[in-house]
C-alpha cells in the first residue's frame, strides 16, 4: 500500500484506506475514486513562499519536478527554504534528501503550497549526524481541494539534535507523517505540531518514534483547533525497544473543538519494552473554557476577541518552542491570521 | 447609581435569588453579608451577566440604564467590575497583555482612544508598586500558579487600572493575611469617590474594619432580609446568621 506507487501506477487500489489500521482516520482509498492524470509542469510565475526572505537558499519542487539533495558539511550553518508547490488536478510525487553531517547546523523551512484538486506526495529522507542540529519547521497551507501526503524518514546519530514543528491548515485530505529512528546516546528529539482547521478540511499528524538505544529523549507537544466540519487526526506513537533504558519520552496532544460538527481523533501510544523509562503522556479534547471566557468578557473584552485571545494563547505554547526566531515570528503571524478567519 | 428591584434568578432551574431589592447611591459603599449558600456570588454573576444565571423577574439598572439586557463586555464598558471570589487562570496570556487588551477594549467601546504601550506600562508600574506586586509577575500568564492572595491582589490591580464606576467585590478578603488585606483595602479605598459605588460582599466583618461601609445588608435565602449601618456588621459578628437564616 503506497501513495507513491498509486500515483506512479495510476492505480487507486494502491491507496491506503480505512482497512489499514494506521490510515483508518485518513481514508484515501475511499476518497479518490479515479486515479488522476500525471500533473503537467507548473505554469506561470511562482508566488513568494511563506518563508520568503528567511533563508539564503531556496529549493522549489513544483508538481513533482525538481529535487533536493542537500548535504550540510561539518561546521556549516545553513538556512534552506524547501517548497513543495502543487498546481492543477493531477498527481505527482517528489523526493528530497537532507543530510546534516556531524557538527553541522541546518534550519529547514519547508512549505506546502497549492492550488487545485491535486494528489501530491513528498518523500523526505533526513539524517542528522553526531553533534549536528536540524530544526525543521513545516508550514502546510494546501488548497482545500488538494490531497497531500508527506512522509519523512529521519535517522539520528547519537548526540544529534532534531527539532520539528509542523503547522498546518489541512487540505481536502492531508497527512504529514514523520518517522524517527532514535539511537539514544543523548540524541535529542522534539516533534511538535499545530493544526488549525476550518471548513471541511482534514489534517493528520502522524509520528512514529522508535527508541533503540540507552539515554534517548523525545518530547512532543501537538495542539489543534478545529471548527465547522473539519477533522483533525493525531497519531503519536513512541516505541521504546528492549534495552533502550533511561529513555525519557513525553507526549502531549490537546485539541479545542469549536463546533458540534468538527471532529478530532487522537491516538497517543507509548509502547515500552524497556525497564527504567520515564514516560508521560497527556491527551485532552474539549471546548474553550467557559469560565475563562466569561472572566475575559467581564473585564470588557468582547466575546470574539476573548475567544481569539484564549485560542491563540492555547496554540502559543507550541509556537513558543520554535527555536528559530524569524520562523517563530512567521508561525505566530500565521496562527493569528488563521484564527482571525483569514484564508 | 445601582438599583436592583425584586430580582429573581435561577441556576439550573433552581431559584436562588427570590425577590432581591437593593439601592446603592453614587459615592456609597454597601456591604452584603450572609451565610454560605445565601446567593451572594449568584447576585454578583447576575449583575455581570454570566451565562446560566437566568433572570426570571425584576430589574437591575445602573444610572437608570438597564443592565440585564447587556452583554458582559458591554456592562464592563459601562464601568461594572467584579472582583471574583475565585479569579480564573488564563493560561498563555501574560497578565500585562490581558489587562491592556481589556483596557483598550473598554476604551474603544466608549469611543475613547486606546492607550499606547509606554503609557500603559507607566500606569501599570505605578499601580503595581502601590499594591506591592512584583512587576515581573505581570509577565507571567495571568493567575497561573499564583497563590490565592496573589490572585486577589491581581483583581485589585486590574480594578485600579480599569477604573470602573461600579465595583463588586466578592469575598475579596478570603485567602488574605492581615498585611495583604490592608494593601487590598488601601487599593479599594483609593477608588472611593463621589461618582463611584461599591458592593462589598463578605462573610466576615473583618474586611469592614478596613473598608468602612455606609450601609450593611444581610442576604439570606435569596433576599435582603435586614439593612442597617456599620453596627449591623458588628452585631452579625457577635450573633451569627442563625436568626436571619431562619427568617429566610
Ligand atoms: N453553577 C451553579 N450550579 C448549581 N447551583 C449553584 C451554582 N451556583 C450556585 N449554586 C447554588 O446557589 C446557591 C447560592 O450559591 P452562591 O451564590 O454561591 O452563595 P454564596 O456566594 O452566598 O455562598 C447555593 O445553594 C449553590 O449551591
Ligand atoms: Mg460566594
Average pLDDT over chain A reads 96
A60-111: pLDDT as tens digits? 999 999 888 999 999 999 999 999 999 999 999 999 999 999 999 999 999 9
pLDDT tens for residues A19-59? Answer: 999 999 999 999 999 999 999 999 999 999 999 999 999 99
CB distance A300–B103 less than 8 Å? yes
8 Å CB contact between A322 and A137: yes
pLDDT grade, residue A1 (50/70/90)?
low
What's the residue count for chain B?
248
Residue located nearest, by CA, to atom 7 of ligand 1 = B11
Mean pLDDT along residues A296-320: 95
pLDDT at A238: 97
Residue B82 Cα, ligand 2 centroid: separation in angstroms?
12
| 3-class SS letters over A138-194 | EEEECCCCCEEEEEEEEEECCCCEEEEEEEECCECEEEEEEEEEECCCCCEEEEEEE
| pLDDT (mean) for A174-190 | 97
A103-107, A168-172, A179-183, B201-205 — which is least confidently predicted? B201-205
Q: Which pTM value belongs to this model?
A: 0.88
- Which portions of chain B are predicted below pLDDT 70? 246-248
Distances (CA, A) of A35 to A31, A41, A120, A145, B77: 11, 18, 12, 15, 58
- Measured from CB, residues less than 6 Å from any atom of ligand 1 are B 11-12, 16, 34, 36-42
Tell me: pLDDT of A258 over 80. Answer: yes
Q: Is residue A109 a contact partner of residue A51, using CB atoms and an 8 Å limit?
A: yes
Residue A193, sorted as left (phi over 0), alpha (psi -120 to 50) or beta, turns out to be beta
Answer for the pair A162, A47: CB distance below 8 angstroms, yes or no. no
Instruction: Return the ligand 1 atom nearest residue B44 CA.
Output: 17
Q: Is A301's CB within 8 Å of B91's CB?
A: no
Nearest atom within ligand 1 for CA of residue B35: 22
Check A301 against B141: CB less than 8 A apart. no
Name the pLDDT band for A342 (thresholds 50, 70, 90): low
Measure B31 CA to ligand 1 centroid, in angstroms.
19
Cβ pair A292:B89 closer than 8 A = yes
Strands B166-170 vs B80-83: parallel, antiparallel or unpaired: parallel
What's the B31 CA to ligand 2 centre distance in angstroms? 14
Residues 6+ apart with CB under 8 A from A48: none
CB contacts, 8 Å: A297 with chain B: 49, 71-73, 76
Determine contact, residues A183/A158, Cβ cutoff 8 Å.
yes
Q: How far is CA A176 from CA B107, B160, B243, in A?
A: 44, 49, 68
Give me the CATH topology for the region B1-88+165-176+191-248: Rossmann fold (3.40.50)
Instruction: Specify the pLDDT at position A27.
Output: 97
Rounded-to-integer distance, Cα B115 and Cα B128, Å: 17
At B180 the pLDDT is 86
Q: What is the mean pLDDT of chain B?
A: 93
Q: Spell B171-180 as b/e; 16+ CB within 10 A means b.
A: bbbebbeeeb
**Shortest alpha-carbon distance between residue B154 and chain A (Å):** 13
Residues 6+ apart with CB under 8 A from B189: B210, B211
Residue B158 and residue B155: Cα distance in Å, rounded?
5
Going from N- to C-terminal start, the domains of chain B cover: 1-88+165-176+191-248, 90-145
pLDDT of residue A343: 44
Query: For residue B51, which residues of chain A lie inside 8 Å, CB to CB?
Result: 290, 294
Helix (H, G, I), strand (E, B) or coil at B64: coil
Put simply, the answer to whether A300 touches B76 (Cβ < 8 Å) is: yes
Contact flag A298-B72 (C-beta cutoff 8 Å):
yes
Collect all residues from A whose CB is shorter than 8 A from any CB in B.
289-292, 294-303, 305-306, 309-310, 312-314, 316-317
Question: Which member of A305, A313, A314 has the closest CB to residue B105?
Answer: A305
Q: Nearest C-alpha to atom 25 of ligand 1 is from which residue?
A: B37
Amino acid at each position: 500500500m503506497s501513495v507513491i506507487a498509486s500515483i506512479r501506477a495510476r492505480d487507486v487500489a494502491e491507496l491506503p484506506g480505512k482497512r489499514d489500521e494506521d490510515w483508518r482516520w485518513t481514508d484515501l482509498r475511499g476518497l479518490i475514486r479515479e486515479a488522476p492524470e500525471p500533473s503537467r509542469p507548473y505554469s506561470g510565475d511562482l508566488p513568494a513562499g511563506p518563508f520568503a526572505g528567511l533563508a539564503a537558499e531556496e529549493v522549489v519542487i513544483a508538481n513533482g519536478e525538481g529535487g533536493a539533495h542537500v548535504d550540510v558539511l561539518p561546521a556549516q550553518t545553513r538556512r534552506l527554504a524547501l517548497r513543495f508547490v502543487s498546481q492543477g488536478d493531477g498527481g505527482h510525487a517528489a523526493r528530497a534528501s537532507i543530510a546534516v553531517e556531524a557538527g553541522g547546523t541546518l534550519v529547514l523551512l519547508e512549505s506546502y503550497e497549492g492550488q487545485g484538486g491535486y494528489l501530491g506526495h513528498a518523500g523526505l529522507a533526513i539524517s542528522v549526524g553526531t553533534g549536528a542540529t536540524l530544526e525543521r519547521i513545516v508550514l502546510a497551507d494546501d488548497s482545500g481541494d488538494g490531497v497531500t501526503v508527506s512522509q519523512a524518514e529521519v535517522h539520528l546519530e547519537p548526540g544529534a539534535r532534531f527539532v520539528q514543528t509542523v503547522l498546518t491548515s489541512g487540505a481536502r485530505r492531508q497527512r504529514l507523517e514523520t518517522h524517527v529512528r532514535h539511537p539514544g546516546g543523548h540524541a535529542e528529539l522534539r516533534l511538535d505540531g499545530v493544526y488549525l482547521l476550518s471548513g471541511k478540511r482534514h489534517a493528520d499528524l502522524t509520528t512514529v518514534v522508535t527508541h533503540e538505544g540507552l539515554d534517548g529523549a523525545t518530547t512532543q507537544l501537538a495542539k489543534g483547533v478545529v471548527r465547522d466540519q473539519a477533522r483533525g487526526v493525531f497519531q503519536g506513537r513512541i516505541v521504546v525497544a528492549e534495552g533502550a533504558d533511561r529513555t525519557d519520552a513525553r507526549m502531549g496532544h490537546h485539541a479545542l473543538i469549536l463546533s458540534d460538527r468538527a471532529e478530532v481523533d487522537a491516538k497517543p501510544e507509548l509502547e515500552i519494552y524497556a525497564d527504567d523509562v520515564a514516560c508521560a503522556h497527556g491527551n485532552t479534547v474539549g471546548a474553550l473554557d467557559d469560565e475563562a471566557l466569561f472572566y475575559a468578557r467581564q473585564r470588557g473584552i468582547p466575546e470574539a476577541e476573548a475567544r481569539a485571545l484564549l485560542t491563540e494563547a492555547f496554540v502559543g505554547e507550541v509556537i513558543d518552542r520554535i527555536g528559530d526566531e524569524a520562523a517563530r515570528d512567521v508561525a505566530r503571524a500565521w496562527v493569528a491570521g488563521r484564527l482571525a478567519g483569514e484564508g | 447609581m445601582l438599583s436592583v428591584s425584586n430580582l429573581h434568578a435561577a441556576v439550573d432551574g433552581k431559584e436562588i435569588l427570590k425577590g432581591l431589592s437593593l439601592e446603592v447611591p453614587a459615592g456609597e459603599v454597601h456591604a452584603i453579608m450572609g451565610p454560605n449558600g445565601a446567593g451572594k456570588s449568584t447576585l454578583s454573576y447576575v449583575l455581570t451577566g454570566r451565562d446560566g444565571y437566568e433572570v426570571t423577574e425584576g430589574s437591575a439598572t445602573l444610572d437608570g440604564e438597564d443592565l440585564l439586557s447587556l452583554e458582559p463586555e458591554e456592562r464592563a464598558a459601562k464601568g461594572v467590575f467584579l472582583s471574583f471570589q475565585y479569579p480564573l487562570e488564563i493560561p498563555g496570556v501574560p497578565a500585562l497583555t490581558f489587562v491592556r487588551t481589556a483596557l483598550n477594549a473598554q476604551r474603544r467601546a466608549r469611543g475613547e482612544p486606546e492607550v499606547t504601550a509606554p503609557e500603559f506600562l507607566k500606569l501599570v508600574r505605578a499601580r503595581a508598586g502601590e499594591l506591592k506586586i512584583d512587576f515581573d509577575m505581570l509577565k507571567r500568564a495571568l493567575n497561573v500558579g499564583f497563590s490565592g492572595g496573589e490572585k486577589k491582589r491581581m483583581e485589585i490591580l486590574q480594578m485600579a487600572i480599569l477604573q470602573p464606576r461600579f465595583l463588586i467585590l466578592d469575598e475579596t478578603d478570603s485567602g488574605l493575611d492581615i498585611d495583604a488585606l490592608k494593601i487590598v483595602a488601601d487599593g479599594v479605598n483609593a477608588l472611593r469617590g463621589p461618582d463611584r459605588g461599591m458592593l462589598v460582599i463578605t462573610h466576615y466583618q473583618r474586611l469592614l474594619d478596613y473598608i468602612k461601609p455606609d450601609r450593611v445588608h444581610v442576604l439570606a435565602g435569596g433576599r435582603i432580609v435586614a439593612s442597617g449601618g456599620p453596627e449591623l456588621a458588628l452585631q452579625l459578628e457577635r450573633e451569627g446568621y442563625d436568626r436571619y437564616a431562619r427568617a429566610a
